[in-house]
Amino acid sequence: MPRLEVALVTGRTIKQGSQIESERYTKEYADAAAICFMNPDDMAELGVKEGSNVKVTTEVGSVVLQVKAYKGNPRGLAFIPLGPWANALISVRTRSTGMPFFKDSKAFIEPTEEPVPTPEEVVSKNAGKKLLKVPVDYLMSPGDFKGEGIFESHICPICGCLCDDLVVEVKSGVISSIKNACARSLAKFKSYAAERVKTPLVRVGDELKPVSYDEAIKRAAEILVNAKYPLLFGWSETSNEATRLGIRLAELVGGVIDNLSTFCHGPSVMGIQQFGIVTSTLGNIRDNADLMVFWGCNPPSSHPRHFVRYSALAKGLKIKGRGERRIIVVDVRETEAARVADMFVKVKPGMDYDLLTAVHMVVKGLELESDEVAGVPRDVIVKMADMMMSAKFGVLFYGLGLTATSARNRNIEAAIRLVQALNDWTTFSLNPMRGHFNVAGNNHAFAWLTGYPYAVDLSRGYPRYNPGVTSTIDLLARGEVDAALVVASDPGAHFPAQALRHLANIPLIVVDPKWSLVAGLSDVYIPTKMLGIDAEGVSYRMDNVVLRVKRALESDGLMDDVEVLEKMIKYVEEVKARAA
Amino acid sequence: MQPKPIIIRGGHVIDPINKVDCEVMDIGVRDGKIVDPSEIEESKAMIIDAKGKLVMPGGVDPHTHIAGPKFNFGRIMSPQDHRRAWIKATPTRRCGTGLVVPSTAYIGYKYAQMGWTTAIEPATVPLKSRHTHEELDDIPILDKACYPLLGTNRLVMEFISKGDIESLKCYIAWVLKETKGYAVKIVNPGVAEPTWWNRYVGLDLDEQLPEFNITPRDIVRGLCKAVIELKLPHPIHVHCNRLGFPGNYVTTLKTMDCVSDLATGDKPIMHITHVQFTGYAGTGWANLSSGGEAIAKYLNAHNHVTLDLGQVIFGESLTMTADAPFEYVLYHIMMGKWFGGMAESEATTGIVPYLYKKSNYVNTVQWSIGLEVALLTKDPWKIVFATDNPNAGRFTKYPLGLSWLVSKKAREEIMAKLNRRGLKHTALPAVDREYTLYDVAIVTRAGPAKILGMPEKGHLGVGADADIAIYDLNPVEVDVSKDYKAFIRAFKRALYTIKSGVIVVKDGEVVEPNLYGSTYYVDATKALDPDAYKSTVNYVKEAFPKLYSVSFENYVIGEHELRKPLKVEVAK
In this structure, the number of other CB atoms found within 10 A of the CB of residue A460 comes to 12
**Which residues share a beta bridge with B30?**
B33
Q: What percent of chain A has pLDDT over 70?
A: 100
Q: Which residue of B has its CA nearest to A453?
A: B76
Chain A interface, best mutation among B70, B86, B95, B199, by max A CB count within 10 A: B95
ipTM: 0.96
Closest in B344, B553, B557 to A281, CB measured? B344
Q: Distance between CA A112 and CA B400 in Å, rounded?
A: 76
Sequential DSSP letters for A270-337? HHHHHHEEEEE-HHHHHHH-SEEEEES--HHHHSTTHHHHTSTT---SSS-SGGG-EEEEEESS--TG
pLDDT mean over A242-251? 97
- In this predicted structure, what is the pLDDT of residue A467? 95
Q: What is the pLDDT of residue A1?
A: 74
Interface check A412 vs B, CB under 8 A: no
For B108-150, the three-class secondary structure string (H helix, E strand, C coil) is: HHHHHHCCEEEEEEEEECHHHHHHHHHHHHCCCCCEEEEEEEC
Closest residue of A to B557, CA-based? Answer: A548
Nearest CA in chain B to A241: B134
Q: Quick one: pLDDT band at residue A104, thresholds 50, 70, 90?
A: confident
Please report, as a single letter, which amino acid is at residue B14.
Answer: I
Residues of B in contact with A288 (CB under 8 A): 195
Tell me the backbone φ, ψ of residue A387, rounded to 5 degrees. -60, -40
Please count the other Cβ atoms lying within 10 Å of the Cβ belonging to residue B80.
12
DSSP 3-state assignment of A344? strand
Residue B265: which pLDDT band, with cuts at 50, 70 and 90? confident
The β-bridge partners of A486 are A233, A510
Instruction: Give contacts of B351 with chain A, Cβ < 8 Å.
Output: 276
Mean pLDDT value across residues B55-59: 98
pLDDT exceeds cutoff 60 at A537? yes
A467 burial (CB, 10 Å; 0-12 / 13-18 / 19+) is buried
The correct answer on CATH 3.30.160.270 for the domain covering A4-117 is: no
pLDDT per residue over B444-477, tens digit each? 999 999 999 999 999 999 999 999 999 999 999 9
- Parts of chain A belonging to CATH 3.40.228.10: 266-432
Q: A518: which residues sit within 8 A by CB, 6+ positions away?
A: A486, A489, A490, A491, A492, A493, A503, A508, A510, A512
Q: How many residues does chain A have?
A: 580
pLDDT tens, position by position, B307-326: 999 999 999 999 999 999 99
The answer to whether B55 and A251 are in contact (CB under 8 A) is no
Report whether pLDDT(B88) > 60.
yes
Residues B549, A540: C-beta atoms closer than 8 Å? no
How confident is the prediction for chain B on average, in pLDDT?
96
Answer yes or no: do A280 and B342 touch at CB < 8 A: yes
Q: Closest by alpha carbon to B172, among B534, B562, B525, B526?
A: B525
User: Which chain A residues are within 8 Å of B340, Cβ to Cβ?
Assistant: 276-279, 420, 423
**A74 part of contact set with chain B, CB < 8 Å:** no
Contacts of A158 (CB under 8 A, 6+ apart): A21, A184, A185, A188, A437
* Contact between A542 and A161 (Cβ < 8 Å): yes
pLDDT digits (tens, 9 = 90+) for A481-527: 999 999 999 999 999 999 999 999 999 999 999 999 999 999 999 99
B560 DSSP assignment: G
Subunit contact A449:B552, Cβ cutoff 8 A:
no
pLDDT band at B524 (very low <50, low <70, confident <90, very high): very high
Closest approach of A398 to chain B, Cα-based (Å): 17
Is-contact A548 A536, C-beta < 8 A? yes
Give B393-406 pLDDT, tens digit per residue: 999 999 999 999 99
Pairwise CA distance, residues B451 & B183, whole Å: 11
Q: Is there a contact between B547 and A427 if contact means CB atoms under 8 Å apart?
A: no
A29, A19 in Cβ contact below 8 A?
yes
Nearest one of B189, B348, B206 to B272, comparing CA atoms: B189
Dihedral (Cα; B296, B328, B148, A452), 10-degree rounding? -120
* pLDDT (average), residues A78-96: 95
User: Which top CATH class is A266-432?
Assistant: alpha beta
- Contact assignment for A544 to B131 by CB distance below 8 Å: yes
A320's CB contacts (< 8 A; 6+ apart) are none
Do A86 and A122 contact (CB within 8 A), yes or no?
no
Mean pLDDT of A355-371: 96
The 10s digit of each residue's pLDDT in A416-459 is: 999 999 999 999 999 999 999 999 999 999 999 999 999 999 99
> What Cα–Cα distance (Å) separates residue B196 from each residue in A143, A428, B186, B275?
54, 11, 17, 25
List the alpha helices (DSSP H) in B271-419. 292-301, 324-334, 361-376, 398-406, 408-415
Instruction: Write out pLDDT tens, residues B419-450.
Output: 999 999 999 999 999 999 999 999 999 999 99
pLDDT of residue B80: 96
Amino acid residing at B304? H
Helix (H, G, I), strand (E, B) or coil at B498: strand
Q: Are strands A546-549 and B289-290 parallel, antiparallel or unpaired?
A: unpaired
User: Around Cβ A214, how many Cβ atoms within 10 Å?
Assistant: 11
Over residues A324-337, the pLDDT tens digits come to 999 999 999 999 99
Domain with CATH 2.40.40.20 in chain A: 4-117
Residues of chain A with CATH 3.40.50.740: 197-264+437-531+557-579
A275–B328 CB contact, under 8 Å: no
Q: What is the CATH number of domain A197-264+437-531+557-579?
A: 3.40.50.740
Q: Give CA–CA dist B249/A519, Å, rounded.
A: 64
pLDDT at B3 over 90: no
- Mean pLDDT calculated for residue range A266-289: 97
Q: Which residue of B has its CA nearest to A461?
A: B88
pLDDT, position B169: 97
Q: Which of B90, B195, B352 sits opposite A427 (nearest CB)?
A: B195
Burial of A50 by CB count in 10 Å (0-12 exposed, 13-18 middle, 19+ buried)?
exposed
Is A540 an 8 Å CB contact of chain B?
A: yes
Kindly determine whether residue A155 and residue B554, on different chains, have CB atoms separated by under 8 Å.
yes
The phi and psi torsions of A554 (rounded to 5 degrees) equal -115, 145
Span B356-375, pLDDT tens digits: 999 999 999 999 999 999 99
**Interchain contact, B549 vs A309, CB within 8 Å:** yes
Residue B268 sits at φ, ψ, to 5 deg, of: -65, 140
Query: Where residue B1 falls among pLDDT bands split at 50, 70, 90?
Result: low
Q: How many CA atoms lie within 13 A of B258 on its CB side?
A: 26
By the CB < 8 Å criterion, does A270 face chain B? no
- Nearest chain A CA: its distance from B71 CA (Å): 9
Asked if pLDDT for residue A395 goes beyond 90, the answer is yes
Contacts of B68 in chain A (CB under 8 A): none
Q: How far is A491 from chain B (nearest CA, A)?
A: 26
Percent of chain B with pLDDT over 70: 100
Q: What angle do CA B52, B55, B59 make, to 5 degrees?
A: 145
Question: Which distant-in-sequence residues (6+ apart) come within 8 Å of A463 by Cβ?
Answer: A450, A451, A452, A456, A457, B82, B86, B95, B97, B103
The answer for A 93-112 residues in CB contact with B (under 8 A) is none
